[in-house]
Amino acid sequence: MKVGEDQRVRVIMITAAADFELQVRARDLHCDGYLQKPIFRKDLIEALRRTKLIPSEAAQPSKPEQSAD
């Protein structure tokens, strides 16, 4: 059974590791996104939009940049 693009699981890797090799491995494993801590709201929203987990017209954050942890 083939899974359609709109039905597949989306994966955003979140890590505290500042390791370029880990980012490359995440891409090789077909992660849809990669975020390194501390995670800021704008970066999280951008990753969610890129993976189509939220619509692109979702409201922009109005608060100052904060960590999402």
Calculate the average pLDDT of the chain: 83
- The per-residue pLDDT for 16 is 92
Residues with Cβ within 8 Å of residue 59, at least 6 apart in sequence: none
- Cβ-based burial of 17 (10 A; exposed 0-12, middle 13-18, buried ≥19): exposed
Q: In this predicted structure, which of 6-10, 30-34, 56-60 has the lowest mean pLDDT?
A: 56-60
- The per-residue pLDDT for 63 is 57
The residue ranking higher by pLDDT, 60 or 3, is 3
Residue 36 backbone phi and psi in degrees, to 5: -110, 135
Q: pLDDT-derived band of residue 47, with 50, 70 and 90 as boundaries?
A: very high
Question: How many domains would you assign to the chain?
Answer: 1
Beta-strand ranges (E) seen in 1-69 are: 12-15, 33-36
Domain around 62: 1-69
